[in-house]
Amino acid sequence: MTARAQLILANRAFLDHEAPRWADSPSSASSGGLLAAVRPVIAPWDGRSGTTWIGVGMGRYDREWVDERGFEILDTPRGPLRHRRLFFGSAIWQGHYGEVANSFTWPLFHLVRVDLPRATPYYPAPVLPTESGWHSFVVVNRAFAEAACEEGGAPSCWVHDYQLALVPGMLRARGFGGPIGFFLHIPFPSLAVAAPYLEGGSRERLRAIVEGMLGADLVGLQTTDDVARFVEAAGELCDARPTAGGLSVGGRLVRVGAYPVGIDPEEVLAAAKRAKPVTRVGMARELGLPVVVGLERGDFTKGIPERLRAIAEAYRRGVRFAYVGIASPTREGVEAYGALEVAIEREAARAREAAYWVGCPFTQVRASIGWDDVVSLQRDADVVFTSSLADGMNLVPLQAAVAQSLRPAGERAVVLAGVDAGVAKVYGGDGSRGLRAVDPLDQESLVAALVEGLAGQPARISDAFIAEVHAHDARSWGERFLADLEESC
Ligand code: G6P
C-alpha cells in the first residue's frame, strides 16, 4: 500500500487566509521548499481518515475561517485537507520565529563548510536567543506536541523542520502512541565551522535542539553529508552512539537517513505549458539577447549579492545578456535580514550601471510573483543562475530542468547552483548534464561559469537530468520516508 501522511506538523500552515471570508478571493498559498515538497503526500480527508495538517495561523483573516479549536476543511487541488491552526501572541511569536528559528537556528544551520558571517559583509552571526525568546520557542513547540497528542488513533506523526525541532522529544515524553518522524529541510551544520558561534549558551541551545530531534523514531536529512554532520553532533552533544541503521540513544534506536526532497514535476509541466512569456523576456528576445534568470526568496543564504557582483563583472567585460532577478520578500521584520537588503541594493546598482554601458536590460526587484510567471521564467531562461552559499536542497534547478524539458535539447539552459546546495551534492555538479556547481565566494569562477553558461557550456540540461528529477519526485520522497517511518517502530 502506498504510504500517505496521517499527521503533518509544520510551522507554516498549508495556506494563509489573507482575505476575509466574504471577499471570495483565493487565499494565498505559502511559499518555500517545505510546502512544495510535502504537498504531494497529502491524502484527501474523507470525513474519517486522510491527512491532518497542523500549522501556525499567520494569515490576517485566518480566525474567520476556523472553528474555536482552529480546525477547518481546506479545499485544495488534491482534495479536502483537514487543517488546524495554532495561534500565538506577538511576543511569543517574535521569540519563537524572530529570535530562535530565524536569528539563531537558520543562520547557524547553514554553516556547513564556510564561516559565512566572516566570509561576507551581510550574513548574520547566529545570535544566542534571550531566555524569554527560548521560552517562546518551547511554548510553540509544546503547543504543537499537545495538538498532535489530541489526535486519536495513534497516527504516525511527521514533524517538519527546524522551527519544530523540540517536538519529537516532547511527543516521546508525552507517550505519543504512533511512530514519530522528523525531517530537516535545511542543512545540518558542521560543529567545527560553527564553533565560533557556539560559545556562551549557544552550544547548550544547539544541544537541546539535537536532543529534541532525537526524540523521533526516524530523523531524515537532505544529503549524506548532512547525515554525517548530524551523527557527529549527536555523538558529541548528546552521547548518541552510531549503530546499524542510525543512532543508539539511551538504549533506543533512532534511525537516521538521507532523503533528498524532490518537486512535483506535473505541477511544473502544467504551468510550463500554459504560462505566457513574461514581458522582460520578450524584450530581451527582440534585442537578440540571451536571458539569465535569478529567482528565490530574498534570503541571506542565497548568495544574491555575490551573483550580482559576478553579473556586473561580466557586463564590464563586454558580455551581453539580459538579467531578470526577482527576490521575493521573506521574514520581513526579522532583524537578521536587514543587512542583506543593503548589500543587494548596492550590488544591483553597480550591475545596473555596468549593464547600461553595454546596452543590456538588467532587473533586480524585490517582489512576489505568481507561480506561472516563476515557471515561465524558468522555462525561457538561457542560464538559470542560482548561487546559494548553502542550501538544504534548492528546488529552483529541479523546477527549471522540468520547465525546460519543453524545449528542444539543443536550446535548453545551463543551470548554475551553489556547491554547498543539496541539489549539487545529490545530482552532481560537474556540468555534464546541464547542472554546474559553482562556489559563490569565488568571484572569478562565478564569472567564468556565467560566460560559459551563456555559450551552452559545459552542457545544456540533458534528458538524463530531467529523467532523474522525475524519478526522484516529491511523491517518491514522501512515500519513502513514510514507509521507513512505519517500519521504524
Ligand atoms: C525554507 C524552510 C521552511 C520555510 C520556508 C519559508 O524552505 O525550510 O521551513 O517554511 O523556507 O520560510 P518562512 O519563514 O516564510 O516559513
Q: Same domain, yes or no, for 78 and 224?
A: yes
Q: Tell me how far apart the alpha carbons of residues 112 and 131 are, in angstroms, rounded to a whole number.
A: 27
Closest residue by CA, ligand 1 atom 8: 185
Instruction: Indicate whether residue 103 lines ligand 1 (CB < 6 A).
Output: no
Domain of residue 409 covers: 265-471
| Per-residue model confidence as pLDDT tens digits over 245-291 | 899 999 999 999 999 999 999 999 999 999 999 999 999 999 999 99
Of 9, 15, 34, the residue with max ligand 1 atoms within 8 A of its CB, to mutate for a pocket test, comes to 34
3-state helix, strand, coil split of the chain in percent (to 5) is 45, 20, 35
**Structure pTM?**
0.97
Reported residue count of the chain is 489
Of 39, 161, 368, 386, the residue with max ligand 1 atoms within 8 A of its CB, to mutate for a pocket test, comes to 161
CA of 368 to the centre of ligand 1 (A): 15
| Biggest CA pair distance of the chain | 67
The SS3 call for residue 385 is: strand
| Per-residue model confidence as pLDDT tens digits over 116-168 | 999 999 999 999 999 999 999 999 999 999 999 999 887 899 999 999 999 99
Q: Same domain, yes or no, for 189 and 328?
A: no
Q: Same domain, yes or no, for 370 and 450?
A: yes
Q: Same domain, yes or no, for 465 and 478?
A: no
**26 pLDDT exceeds 90?**
no
Q: Same domain, yes or no, for 338 and 242?
A: no
Q: Identify whether the C-beta of residue 387 lies closer than 8 Å to the C-beta of residue 306.
A: yes
Closest residue by CA, ligand 1 atom 3: 34
- The single-letter DSSP state of residue 98 is I
Cell 543562520 belongs to residue: 107
Q: Same domain, yes or no, for 151 and 274?
A: no
Q: Same domain, yes or no, for 135 and 25?
A: yes
CATH number at residue 458: 3.40.50.2000
Q: Same domain, yes or no, for 81 and 101?
A: yes
The SS3 call for residue 58 is: coil
Instruction: Indicate whether residue 98 lines ligand 1 (CB < 6 A).
Output: no
Q: Tell me how far apart the alpha carbons of residues 398 and 400 are, in angstroms, rounded to a whole number.
A: 5
Closest residue by CA, ligand 1 atom 14: 331
Q: Same domain, yes or no, for 252 and 314?
A: no
Q: Give me the helices (H) in 110-176, please.
A: 116-119, 131-149, 167-173
Closest residue by CA, ligand 1 atom 13: 331
Atom of ligand 1 nearest to the CA of 330: 15
**Structural domains counted in the chain:** 2
pLDDT at 1 (0 to 100): 47
Query: Partners of 247 in the beta sheet?
Result: 242, 254
Tell me how crowded residue 406 is: count the other CB atoms within 10 A of its CB.
12
CA of 5 to the centre of ligand 1 (A): 20
Cell 526522484 belongs to residue: 472
| Per-residue model confidence as pLDDT tens digits over 179-221 | 999 999 999 999 999 999 999 999 999 999 999 999 999 999 9
Tell me the average pLDDT across 419-426. Answer: 98
Tell me the average pLDDT across 427-449. Answer: 97
Q: Same domain, yes or no, for 180 and 91?
A: yes
Q: Same domain, yes or no, for 310 and 320?
A: yes
Q: Same domain, yes or no, for 461 and 482?
A: no
